Amino acid sequence: MQDPIVIERLVKDYNGFRAVDSLDLKVSRNTFIGFLGPNGAGKTTTIKVLTNLLKATSGQAILNGVDVVKDPKEALSCVGAVVETPEFYPYLNPRETLEYLGSLRGMTREVIGSRGDELLETVKLSEVAEKRIGEFSKGMKQRLAIAQALLHEPSIIILDEPTSGLDPRGMVEVREILKDLKDQDYTIFMSSHLLNEVQEICDYVALIDKGRMLAHGSVEELTQMTKTKRIQVRSLDPLDGRMVETIGRVNGVSKVMRPNETLTVVEFTGDDQDQVALLEEIQGMGVRVASFKEEGLALEALYMNLIKDSR
């Protein structure tokens, strides 16, 4: 069976500037892939080509076996998308908006009604279903954007930085919705520059910079590509300079940072045995350890290394 999303040698030029440079990527069915890269890496440009907002200079962007450039109507027939934070027609309310977009996708009024109510409930907009969208906050618009993308239960969902610009509560709400989607039969392509968000939600990651693919694979595969991890040690007793020096001599420790007297962050490249030895060394100095945990930043280390190399 063909992969639902296939990007082949995709190129997009803007007035002499190459925003996407021979990008290749295949996304398997039921994958939640995070499309990572710094600002200006070409993430949004790629997504805009996939959603027919931009025309590719060359190459192919194939959705469910159909090239978006050649037949956007067919290619997008089973795709739901949230690109940037879209604006809605202010003269319509959420229910009317879903009716409008659902009817354009060929859904019957009855199905739009039942599915629309269900989605408005999911994105917590039921109470304002009859209220004109012109007065909505950005977070409400983003949740409605997600609802419209899911309305026809598409096989592919494309999301461009879905939590961008939201307040912390809005980010949490949107992430909860995304986590729920992960358990369902969707292939999800989400761009983000938030590493923790990608690591928390996605199964697979594609890293790009300057329009080029740097690395892609499962989150585990990519995190294993870098041996560096961070270990955060929170203690009840303050660590003095001698103790920090001792920790620095433990096998595998490359750097010790002390944000404050009771919090120590260790950059660590050792294996599990070395990690045990590190904990024993700290406790052996009489320090009462309240917590000793790996920070989920292996992906960040890889990301920073790859970005640095590509510059």
Residues near another protein (CB under 8 A) are: 4, 14, 29, 48, 51-55, 64-65, 72-79, 81, 83-89, 91-92, 100-101, 103-107, 111, 115, 145, 148, 152-156, 158, 185
From CA 302, how far away is CA 50, in angstroms rounded?
27
Q: Which of 291, 302, 286, 288 is nearest to 266 (CA)?
A: 291
**CA 209 – CA 40 distance, rounded (Å):** 8
Q: What residue has token string 């290749």? A: 24
Q: Which residue lies nearer to another protein by CB, 160 or 300?
A: 160
Q: Is 271 helix (H, G, I), strand (E, B) or coil?
A: coil
Nearer to another protein, 156 or 219 (CB): 156
- What is the smallest separation between the CB atom of 126 and another protein, expressed in angstroms? 20
Nearer to another protein, 92 or 128 (CB): 92
Closer CB to another protein, residue 115 or residue 258? 115
Question: If we measure between CA atoms, which residue out of 92, 85, 194 comes closest to residue 142?
Answer: 85
Cβ 68 to another protein shortest distance, Å? 10
Q: How far is the CB of 270 from another protein (least distance, A)?
A: 45
Least distance in Å: CB of 294 to another protein? 38
CB nearer to another protein: give 95 or 229: 95
Q: Supply 38's token pair.
A: 């710094």
Give the shortest CB-219-to-another protein separation in angstroms: 24
- Shortest gap between Cβ of 146 and another protein (angstroms)? 12
The radius of gyration of the chain from alpha carbons, rounded to an integer in Å, stands at 23
In our burial notation (b when 16+ CB lie closer than 10 A, e otherwise), range 248-271 reads eebebbeebebeeebbbbbbbebe
Three-class DSSP labels, 126-179 = HHHCCCCHHHCCHHHHHHHHHHHHHCCCCCEEEEECCCCCCCHHHHHHHHHHHH
72 or 211: whose CB is closer to another protein? 72
Distance CA 53, CA 219 (A): 29
